[in-house]
Amino acid sequence: MRRWTTVARSSTGFVAGLTAAAVLTVGFLAYQAHATVPRNLSGRPGPMATHAAGASKAPRDQRRPTALPGGSGTGERVVYSLDDDRVWLVGADGTVQNTFKVSPGNVDPAPGTYAVASRSKAITGTDGVPVEHVVRFTTTGGVVIGFSAAVDGSWPTSDPAIRTGGIRESRADGETMWMFATIGQKVVVIR
């Protein structure tokens, strides 16, 4: 009888040790996952995120409405105009490599400078539509903001019950954005 009591006590200690190790491992992994979330997707401003409070509209060339607006930053970058629903892909030398119209969701990012935080080749958008070439750069009010192209070529729905930060592009423009906007690429949002 004495031998079984000793075995039961040692088994209990062994199980308690395994449980403690499992709890520590899960805690460590949770901390590690939280610590490695890109700052722009965790609700906290990232190292490049700057917001211009009360930013005025960037100057436009009235004769060339698709020209890159002045005051849209420097160097290689994606420029996204909230008012014009247009994107410019700008090379390191400041020349526009491409520009195209987009159709935003109903949640806009604040004007400012961000960095591409994550990308997905293909997912389902918040409106239930399969999308590809997803390039995310920030969150606003818990809604992820990024560029994508609907596989079926559709544009976002205007259903106010669905909060979406997807900025839709054509499939061809989505592929161009995908090639240009890699992780860390600067994204400048202007009015």
- Which residues, at least 6 apart from 173, have a Cβ–Cβ distance to it below 8 Å? 87, 98, 100, 102, 149
CB-based burial label for 85 (10 Å; 0-12, 13-18, 19+): middle
Report the alpha-carbon distance of residue 117 to residue 184 in Å, rounded. Answer: 6
- Which residues, at least 6 apart from 73, have a Cβ–Cβ distance to it below 8 Å? 79, 90, 113, 186, 188
Identify the sign of the CA torsion 61, 65, 71, 74: negative
Supply the pLDDT for residue 16. 52
Q: What is the pLDDT along the chain (191 residues), one digit of tens a residue?
A: 555 455 455 555 555 555 444 444 434 333 343 333 444 444 444 445 555 444 445 566 666 778 999 889 999 999 999 999 999 999 999 999 999 999 999 999 999 999 999 999 999 998 889 999 999 999 999 999 999 999 999 887 778 888 999 999 999 999 999 999 999 999 999 99
Ramachandran sector of residue 71 (left: φ over 0; alpha: ψ -120 to 50; beta: rest):
left
Phi, psi of 163 (to 5 degrees): -85, 115
Report the alpha-carbon distance of residue 113 to residue 188 in Å, rounded. Answer: 5
CATH classification (class only), 44-190: mainly beta
Taking Cα atoms as reference points, which of 147, 184, 152 lies closest to residue 167?
147
> Do 146 and 165 contact (CB within 8 A), yes or no?
yes
Domain-wise residue ranges, the chain: 2-36, 44-190
